[in-house]
């Protein structure tokens, strides 16, 4: 049993670092609440034990201090609804969970409300990043935050790679037995560890996205572990050009051509199969209404660009995925936000889901691939969907994440 599961929070005030950095539209409506819903089980376990909860998070990247645009007050109503999903028209006093908001994370209101919080109640603090001290990892700021609760729970995998006050510094102000990971963080680390250190072979890593430079470290680390690496998205064209292919005006990092060749050579030496798309859906401009065609990925005419993997590539990739026992997917195969260029990414998502149904363990992580499985309603058909984009990337690069080290030691 995990430390969190076995801890009795009765009478305790749990200070939880969550990742409520959710996208909002111009009217401050939440457009994707995945990160909020993911941490609800942690909050509910503490409340069910008879504890109270103080939530701290950031939202966006405010540069000018407090601004309405980045205020967490916009999340209070939805948080209340998530915590009281079983109640119809919940009102105070009917057994529903009360949610309070402090308009400052370390001010008098926060201190007073936290001190008066009763078991079963929740306090959401204002955006941590309204203070520059948060991102600087300021110790005095972390200590002020720590005084609001008597148990520290880190449930924010999405910020675990940041050495910030609320993620990496605050833990030192709590004794070892009173600092722990929440259920989301535990599940994230468990899933990542399973892929990194306990992967059943064949192990296929599907790496997409625009730039090779963003994924060099993860590919190099996976070369030690994977049996197959599928490369799609814009970054594939850097590899194709490096091999002498004609890629038209497709995305390419010319300063990374040698890097691509080095990776291909390393893979050959380690007996890892790297799969590049044999054909591509090409377009005469980067637009939803572009003219399209299908051509070999290394014979794209001048003025045309590859914006998705083609049917032949899809078939080959599906075959590799179908034989896999472990699958890691980070990054889309094309510009799936445009209907004309989403077939490749959708097919890969369906293939990963089918392989999972046949017993493979699949981990999907990184903003765009998560958005893709959500778009195609396949999130429930894979083994685990990670909430941490940058954090997951750094974890798979083999880096030690400050937010994990602070709690686990």
Residue 402 belongs to some domain of the structure: no
Describe the crossing of helices 212-222 and 257-269 by its angle, rounded to 10 degrees. Answer: 10
Q: Tell me: pLDDT of 163 over 90.
A: yes
Please tell me which residue, 366 or 164, carries the higher pLDDT value.
164
362-390 pLDDT, tens digit per residue, is 999 876 888 889 889 999 999 999 988 78
Q: Tell me: pLDDT of 16 over 90.
A: yes
Distance of CA 31 to the CA centre of its chain: 16
The set of residues, in sequence order, having a beta carbon less than 8 Å from that of 190 and lying 6+ positions away, is none
Whether residue 165 sits in one domain with residue 47: yes
pLDDT for residue 1:
61
Domain-terminating residue out of 130, 165, 184: 184
Whether residue 36 sits in one domain with residue 133: yes
pLDDT for residue 32:
84
Question: Cβ(331)–Cβ(349) under 8 Å?
Answer: no
Whether residue 201 sits in one domain with residue 174: no
Q: Tell me: pLDDT of 396 over 70.
A: yes
Whether residue 144 sits in one domain with residue 262: no
169-182 pLDDT, tens digit per residue, is 999 999 999 999 99
Between 48-52, 68-72, 240-244, 369-373, the lowest mean confidence (pLDDT) is in 369-373
Domains held by the chain: number: 2
The whole-number average pLDDT for the span 111-120 is 96
Question: Cβ(385)–Cβ(329) under 8 Å?
Answer: no
Whether residue 7 sits in one domain with residue 118: yes
Give which of 326, 328, 337 is closest to 361, Cα–Cα.
326
Catalytic residues: 35, 211, 367, 390
How many residues in the chain? Answer: 409
Question: Cβ(15)–Cβ(153) under 8 Å?
Answer: yes
Q: What is the residue range of 253's domain?
A: 191-396
Whether residue 214 sits in one domain with residue 149: no
Domain-terminating residue out of 184, 200, 223: 184
> CA-based angle 9:121:22, to the nearest 5?
100
Beta partners for residue 274, in sequence order: 229
pLDDT for residue 89:
53
Looking at the chain, the whole-number percentage of residues with pLDDT higher than 70 is 97
pTM to 2 decimals? 0.87
- What is the full DSSP assignment across 190-208? HHHHHHHHSPPSSEEEEE-
93: pLDDT confidence band, cut at 50, 70 and 90?
low
271: exposed, middle or buried (Cβ count in 10 Å: 0-12, 13-18, 19+):
exposed
255-307 pLDDT, tens digit per residue, is 999 999 999 999 999 999 999 999 999 999 999 999 999 999 999 999 999 99
CATH number at residue 48: 3.40.50.1260
């Amino acid at each position: 049993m995990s430390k969190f599961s076995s801890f009795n929070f009765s009478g305790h005030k749990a200070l939880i670092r969550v990742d409520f950095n959710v996208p909002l539209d111009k009217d401050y409506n939440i457009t994707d609440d995945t990160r909020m819903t993911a941490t609800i089980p942690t909050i509910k376990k503490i409340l069910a034990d008879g504890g109270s909860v103080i939530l701290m998070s950031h939202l966006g990247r405010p540069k000018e201090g407090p601004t309405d645009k980045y205020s967490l007050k916009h999340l209070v109503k939805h948080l209340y609804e998530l915590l009281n999903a079983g109640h119809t028209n919940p009102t105070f006093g009917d057994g529903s969970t009360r949610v309070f908001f402090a308009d400052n994370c370390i001010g008098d209101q926060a201190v007073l409300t936290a001190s008066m919080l009763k078991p079963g109640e929740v306090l959401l603090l204002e955006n941590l990043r309204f203070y520059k001290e948060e991102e600087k990892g300021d110790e005095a700021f972390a200590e002020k935050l720590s005084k609001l609760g008597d148990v520290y729970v880190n449930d924010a995998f999405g910020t675990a790679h940041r050495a910030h006050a609320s993620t990496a510094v605050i833990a030192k102000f709590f004794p070892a037995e009173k600092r722990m990971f929440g259920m989301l963080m535990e599940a994230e680390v468990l899933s990542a560890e399973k892929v990194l250190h306990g992967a059943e072979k064949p192990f296929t890593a599907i790496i997409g996205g625009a730039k090779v430079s963003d994924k060099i470290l993860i590919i190099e680390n996976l070369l030690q572990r994977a049996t197959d690496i599928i490369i799609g998205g814009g970054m594939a064209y850097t590899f194709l050009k490096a091999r002498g292919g004609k890629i038209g005006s497709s995305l390419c990092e010319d300063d990374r051509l040698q890097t691509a060749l080095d990776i291909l050579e390393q893979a050959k030496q380690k007996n890892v199969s790297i799969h590049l798309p044999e054909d591509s859906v090409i377009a005469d401009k980067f637009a939803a209404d572009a003219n399209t065609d299908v051509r070999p990925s290394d014979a794209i005419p001048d003025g045309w660009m590859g914006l998705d993997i083609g049917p032949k590539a899809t078939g080959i990739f599906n075959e590799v995925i179908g034989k896999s026992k472990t699958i890691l997917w980070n990054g889309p195969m094309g510009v799936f936000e445009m209907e004309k260029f989403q077939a490749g990414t959708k097919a890969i998502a369906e293939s990963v889901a089918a392989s999972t149904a046949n017993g493979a363990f699949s981990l999907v992580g990184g903003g765009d691939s998560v958005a893709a499985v959500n778009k195609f309603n396949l999130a429930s058909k894979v083994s685990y969907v990670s909430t941490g984009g940058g954090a997951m990337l750094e974890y798979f690069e083999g880096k030690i994440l400050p937010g994990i080290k602070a709690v686990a030691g």
